[in-house]
Structure 1
Amino acid sequence: MSVAVRVLRGLSIGSIVAVGAVVLAAGTGSAEPNPVPDAFETTTTGDGWVLNIRKTGEIVNQVPNLAASQFSREGFVSYRAEADITGNGDAPVNGASLETGYQVGCGIDVSSGLAVGLGLSVGPSIGISATGPKADLGAQVQPNVSTTLKPGTITDVPFKTKELANGKAGVSVKNVHLKIDGCMGPVSIRSYVTFSTTSDSFDDTVAAYGPVMWL
């Protein structure tokens, strides 16, 4: 990432915007929904319980962003996550929860804004929505534009946390809207499922991840 940023700093802002436009042109067309391999993980806690997690049926559907912005990506995701406890531990489990979500990576973060004309500062902020479709108004790129590039960011976006009941917990997500604003260049996403338990003796966490996908 640092190499890419150093190369871009040697370009004019017009060239940088052109590069971003080319990348976007290659990556924002309609695409078929992408099925993602299932993920499973298991571990034995320090006091003898067996924790199991599964992520199944994940689909990532990349779509052209609604705002037609050079700095936005948009998609819809679906999956099912489940967790359970088996075995015979030495101490009772006092609490357990399942958390699901996505890790989002942005190649070049431009959320600091674009300076246009006589110092007027306008620019999109990074925002991720998992609650429904929404369009954000971003900056229009003008001939006289400058921006400060900085290394990309990785953000955890939790979708849902479910407390365990009767030894198990589950979360089902269907066509949830995911958008990323304020990013120039490719945007990567990776689903995650974590299962955490606590007892008087041990606190334990196990996690499973999907492969890296692109919006």
Structure 2
Amino acid sequence: MVARSGIICFALTVSAVLGAPVARADIQALPPHERVFASPIGSFTVGHKDESVHRIPPLNQVGTTREALVSNTVYGRIDGGATGTLVAGYHVGCAVNLNNGALGLNSSIYPDDVLPDVGTGGTNPIPYLNGQTGIQTYVAPVLTATLAPGEVKEVKLTEKQVVPGDTAWAITRDFHIIVNSCTGPVSIRSYSYMQVTSTLVDDSGGVFGDPTWL
């Protein structure tokens, strides 16, 4: 399943001089991570691999906009008498403190498979691909949050049910991240959580990717 796009708009409450965009396009490969957790239900595993960040020049050529295509393969396995949920996404942060002004991030989350038209008020259905057994991706084409200076928000991309004895996979390719109006550094970090449940036990564990910048 291919996730579509996330647009993050940071709205500044004070005026600023916008710098020239940095013309760059590079791909950063990030290392895999995996953890096996002992549990009263047996054990469970959560990990990710094949993570990359493809930084691209902003289409609007504005220095306070960052764009990137991110890819990641997340997996989880339960060895024991429980079911579980595999959840994955990114933490996104923008560090700004401009003349004591507040920093906000405003947009909307449109669930399932509908992405709004830009400037028309209509909707465009997005093809929802689910042809591979064991793969299910939560598509969040546009996301909403409010960030104070230095705050970090969690952006969920994938949620997948896990059955005992099998490995569940959730694959994201070229998810488009756009950060607007952020005059400070933009950092992202992937996360992968596993939540397991039985009649007697609730347990959880996770791994995090290496933090990087846009």
The corresponding residue for 1:115 is: none
CA drift of 1:155 comes to: 0.7
Give the TM-score of the pair, scaled to structure 2. 0.67
The corresponding residue for 2:195 is: 196
1:38 aligns with 2:32: yes
1:81 aligns with 2:74: yes
Higher relative contact order (CA 8 A, sep 6+): 2
The corresponding residue for 2:96 is: 108
Larger helix proportion of the pair: 1
CA 1:157 to 1:77, structure 2 compared with 1: closer, same or farther past 3 Å?
Answer: same
The corresponding residue for 2:47 is: 54
The corresponding residue for 2:160 is: 162
CA drift of 1:185 comes to: 1.4
Rounded Cα–Cα distance in structure 1 between residues aligned with 2:66 and 2:116: 12
CA RMSD of aligned residues (A): 3.2
Rounded Cα–Cα distance in structure 1 between residues aligned with 2:62 and 2:107: 13
The corresponding residue for 1:181 is: 180
Rounded Cα–Cα distance in structure 1 between residues aligned with 2:209 and 2:180: 22
Rounded Cα–Cα distance in structure 1 between residues aligned with 2:115 and 2:185: 21
Count, aligned residues: 168
Rounded Cα–Cα distance in structure 2 between residues aligned with 1:212 and 1:154: 12
CA drift of 1:35 comes to: 0.2
Give the TM-score of the pair, scaled to structure 1. 0.66
The corresponding residue for 2:61 is: 68
Greater than 4 Å deviation, 4+ residue runs: 109-112, 126-129, 131-137
Question: Any conservation in 2 of the 1:132–1:176 contact (CA below 8 Å)?
Answer: no
Unaligned runs of 5+ in 2: 1-13, 120-146
Rounded Cα–Cα distance in structure 1 between residues aligned with 2:178 and 2:115: 8
Rounded Cα–Cα distance in structure 2 between residues aligned with 1:64 and 1:128: 25
Rounded Cα–Cα distance in structure 2 between residues aligned with 1:211 and 1:134: 32
Task: Give a deviation string over 1:49-104, Cα, whole Å, max 9, x none.
Answer: 21111210111011122222343221001111111012xx4xx31x3111110000
Larger radius of gyration: 1
Unaligned runs of 5+ in 1: 1-12, 113-123, 138-148
CA 1:193 to 1:55, structure 2 compared with 1: closer, same or farther past 3 Å?
Answer: same
> Which secondary structure state, in structure 1, belongs to the residue aligned with residue 210 of structure 2?
coil
CA drift of 1:43 comes to: 0.7
CA 1:193 to 1:33, structure 2 compared with 1: closer, same or farther past 3 Å?
Answer: same
Rounded Cα–Cα distance in structure 1 between residues aligned with 2:115 and 2:174: 11
- Larger deviation: 174-183 or 63-72? 63-72
Amino acid at match of 1:160: T
The corresponding residue for 1:145 is: none
Rounded Cα–Cα distance in structure 1 between residues aligned with 2:68 and 2:74: 19
CA drift of 1:134 comes to: 9.7
Rounded Cα–Cα distance in structure 2 between residues aligned with 1:184 and 1:83: 37
Question: Any conservation in 2 of the 1:188–1:212 contact (CA below 8 Å)?
Answer: yes
The corresponding residue for 2:210 is: 211
